[in-house]
Every structure is written in structure tokens, then in C-alpha cells.
Structure 1
Amino acid sequence: MAQVKNLDALVGRRIRLRRIQLGIEAKSLAASVKVAEARLQAFELGRESICVELLAEIAGALGVSSAYFYSAPRTGLAPRKQTRMAPRQAVR
């Protein structure tokens, strides 16, 4: 049961993160997927599990696939540039 709650919390955080990234108010998103704002807040806080169908609707409203909500968020930092090391010389 704890794993399910952790998953609910992850999905909820990802919904909220994406909504904020797009500048969409909770009230607007809730209306577009036809749920009460309080229920959307419960999803975002991980207090309530979300069904697959509703998650797909939310994903569509936020312009992502449902899989987006199950992945770890990126930090927003640029990826490190990999430097190529000079080949080692043989030690004699």
C-alpha cells in the first residue's frame, strides 16, 4: 500500500509541475477535465488515486503522454558536457 501512495504522490507532483510550467491555474485545468478543483488538488497532493482514463485526459490537457507522469522530473539543469580524455600512454 505504501508503494501505491508513493506512486500517487509522484503522479500528483508531476501533474502540478507540468501545470505550473504551462502557467495553467488549477481551476482552469480542473474545469477542462471536468473535476472539482478540490479533487484536482487531492490528486496533486497524492491524497487520492487517479484513474487511468482521467490521467489520460489530464495528460492531453497538459500536452504530454500519460507516461510523463511516471517518470522522475528533470532538474532543468543543462546536461553536463562530456570531455574527452587524452588516450593514456603506455607505461614503460
Structure 2
Amino acid sequence: MKQPNSIDKHIGTRIRMRRMQLGLTQEKLADALGVSFQQVQKYEKGTNRVGGSRMAEIARLLDVDVGFFYQGAPGADTSKLAGAEFSLMDEFMASREGLMIARAFVRIPNAKVRATIAASIAALSEAMEPAPLTIMAAE
């Protein structure tokens, strides 16, 4: 099976992220586009490339400029690290959990509480990473 092109995958992730931000289902977007929800799934996974006129229609339906889909795309940033970090954020915001966390987080008015939550999440993620292998010296 052919792997999706990294730009097609990025565009699909951005479509999914925006669709979810608006609370649209794949079915509703598909109906508005006149395609099956499976086709929308393929666009979002990057397995099917989105043509120019279809991308313009998706942008109109999702109330964004076409350029939105290319923001942070591989090759769009000279810094590979910044591009990878942006891509990671796109994937996070395209997930149900990411969107749920982001929406809840921005509703917390107290900056100290937000900082405590962010520090707790950072500590938890560091604790979840596998510990580096250490080679024990023979005794």
C-alpha cells in the first residue's frame, strides 16, 4: 500500500482540525461537498489528494482561506524543528482529546491555575517517557 505524501497528510490533518473546531461531523462535511464520508476520511488521512477546486470548496465550508491548509506544511518552514513542532500541534488539535483539552483550558480564567495545569501535564509526559537504558558494569 502506498504511503500518503507528507503534504497531503498535513492538509488532511488541517481539514480534520478545522472540521472538529467547528463541531462538524465527517458526514455533514461530506454532504455539503457531495461526496461520501469515506471520501472525507481519505482526505483527512491524506490517502486521497484534495484537488484545487475541492480544496477551495472545503475552505469555503470551513470558513478559512485555502492557505490555512498549508500552514506549517513540510517544506514551508526552513527550520525542520519548528515544522515538526507545528505538525505535532496540528495532530494534537485534530484529535478529540486535544480539542477538548484546549477548549476547557482557555475557559480557566486564573493564570496561576493554567500554569499549574501546564506544569503538571509536562511532568506527567516526562514521567511517561521510557527511561533511557543504562548498562550495568559487570561486578
Does TM-score exceed 0.5, indicating one fold? yes
Sequence identity of aligned pairs in percent? 32
After superposition, give the CA deviation of every residue in 1:4-46 in whole Å (9 maximum; x if it has no partner): 8001000000000000001001100010011111011000001
- 1:45 equivalent in structure 2: 45
- Residue number in structure 1 paired with 2:62: 62
Partner Cα separation in structure 1 for residue 67 and residue 25 of structure 2: 22
Segments of 5+ residues of structure 1 without an aligned counterpart are: 79-92
Which residues of structure 2 form unaligned runs of 5+?
A: 73-85, 90-101, 107-139
TM-score, normalised with respect to structure 1: 0.74
Q: Secondary structure at the match of 2:53?
A: helix
Q: In structure 2, what residue type is equivalent to 1:34?
A: G
Three-state SS of the structure 2 residue aligned to 1:57 is helix
Count residues in correspondence. Answer: 75
Q: What secondary structure is seen at the aligned counterpart in 1 of 2:5?
A: helix
Does 2:74 align with 1:71?
Answer: no
Query: Match for residue 113 of structure 2?
Result: none
Secondary structure, aligned partner of 1:35: coil
The 1-side partners of 2:57 and 2:30 are apart by: 11
1:8 matched to which residue of 2?
8
Structure 1 residue runs of 4 or more that deviate by more than 2 Å after TM superposition: 72-76
Give a deviation string over 1:46-68, Cα, whole Å, max 9, x none.
11111000000000000001110
SS of 1:64's equivalent in the other structure is coil
Q: Distance in 2 between matches of 1:63 and 1:36?
A: 21
